[in-house]
Amino acid sequence: MKSRRIKLPLIAVLLTVAVAAAAGWWWLKHQPEVNAVSPTSNLACSLPAEKGNAPHAGMVWVPAGSFVLGDTVYPEEQPVGKVQVAGFWMDRSEVSNDAFAAFVKATGYVTVAERPVNLAMHTGLTPDMQKPGAVVFSMPDKINNNDDIRQWWRYVPGADWRHPGGPSTSLEGHGAFPVVHVTYADALAYAKWIGHMLPTEAQWEWAARGAQAQAASEHAQPMQANTWQGLFPVANSGDDGYIGLAPSGCYAPNALGLFDMIGNVWELTSDVWMPFHQGGNASHDQLPPELHSGDVQRTIKGGSYLCAPNYCMRYRSAARQPQDEDLAVSHLGFRTVLNAPAP
Ligand SMILES: [Ca+2]
């Protein structure tokens, strides 16, 4: 189990700095099915109309620039260092259930969470974890401590992108919500289908800052984002309008017109996870996107609706977290980029 020898110390370190929910196979045990689809006040929000002659529908142009990547809130955001990013196009919103459904309908693609579990790679799993499924967040009534994340994360057989809370749940009425339970391979397959790529961490962070060069100094919990208000994981006031996920477009976009870069779902990047930045050169962070053996972790960005001040202040552009490549979770989605000429 080469991968476990690598991951266990890494996760142990990350948990000491209160990393929330980089769900790993190793800490999951058998758990009953739960329904994590939260009630919502709006099933669709109003994304502004695009220009009729927009060269790439649903995307915005992110201009080239240089900026200081990273921050100092958590160790993994360091060292900070200047990087340069070429201009690129980026989806203005997280990929929705409707968009992903169109991809699946056209290609017959089967997501990793729907496939048999690779028992050769993951030995010693409980009977439930040997079944196809995904990791689902469920708000507990009370917890004993903040250390055992199994109190709110559970592996649910039959959970997948079509059944986000388990086999008895569905996407009915949730077409405009971000797709979840997609792994790196799933996201990459979607991106390639439409001729796009997944963003690098540097691209994502530059875009999340609105292509502004100043350092990431904003550490307060943002109001215009779907995050967690209250004491995680037992109390969420829903002051931002949503207890669970929100459809795209419910919060103000950033300066570039990008929605939900912070919060709602974490977003996959193409960068292989390292628990620190490597010298400030973004190209050092990136390995070939085709490298997806299931034996590595990818860097995810932006935080999610589960990020709370008392547990995970990762509702920031520089925040980052590892994600096992072959494990689907209910707070992770993605958006795509296109390396094409400026408008
Ligand atoms: Ca997001």
CA–CA separation, 226 vs 263, rounded Å?
Answer: 5
Q: How far is the CA of 333 from the centre of ligand 1 (A)?
A: 8
Domain count for the chain: 1
Q: How far is the CA of 315 from the centre of ligand 1 (A)?
A: 9
Q: Which helix (H) or strand (E) holds 337?
A: strand 337-338
Q: What is the pLDDT of residue 281?
A: 44
**Structural contact between residues 201 and 281, judged by C-beta atoms closer than 8 angstroms:** no
Half-sphere exposure of 328 (CA within 13 A, CB side): 31
Domain of 95 in residue numbering reads as 1-46+56-343
| 59-62: strand order across its sheet | 59-62, 88-91, 337-338
Q: How far is the CA of 263 from the centre of ligand 1 (A)?
A: 5
Q: What is the pLDDT of residue 215?
A: 59
Q: How far is the CA of 320 from the centre of ligand 1 (A)?
A: 12
Q: What is the pLDDT of residue 12?
A: 31
CA–CA separation, 93 vs 335, rounded Å?
Answer: 7
Residue 51 lies in a domain: no
Q: What secondary structure letter does DSSP report for 129?
A: G
Q: What is the pLDDT of residue 122?
A: 87
Coil, strand or helix at 298: strand
Q: How far is the CA of 1 from the centre of ligand 1 (A)?
A: 32
The neighbouring-strand residues paired with 268 are: 300
Residue 196 lies in a domain: yes
CATH number of the domain within which 62 lies:
3.90.1580.10
Q: What is the pLDDT of residue 42?
A: 86
CA–CA separation, 58 vs 269, rounded Å?
Answer: 19
Residue 310 lies in a domain: yes
Average pLDDT for consecutive 10-residue bins of the chain (343 residues)? 32 32 45 41 87 89 95 93 95 98 98 94 90 95 88 96 97 97 97 97 96 77 93 92 93 96 97 80 43 70 95 94 94 97 92
Radius of gyration of the chain (CA): 19
The neighbouring-strand residues paired with 137 are: 153
Q: How far is the CA of 272 from the centre of ligand 1 (A)?
A: 19
Q: What is the pLDDT of residue 140?
A: 92
Q: How far is the CA of 266 from the centre of ligand 1 (A)?
A: 5
Residue 6 lies in a domain: yes
Residue 91 lies in a domain: yes
Residue given tokens 């340069």 in the structure block: 84
Q: How far is the CA of 269 from the centre of ligand 1 (A)?
A: 12
Q: What is the pLDDT of residue 216?
A: 57
Q: What is the pLDDT of residue 26?
A: 52
What DSSP string describes 3-59? HHHHHHHHHHHHHHTT------GGG--B---------BS-S---PPPPPTT-SSTTE
Q: How far is the CA of 331 from the centre of ligand 1 (A)?
A: 9
Q: How far is the CA of 2 from the centre of ligand 1 (A)?
A: 31
Q: Which helix (H) or strand (E) holds 205?
A: helix 201-208
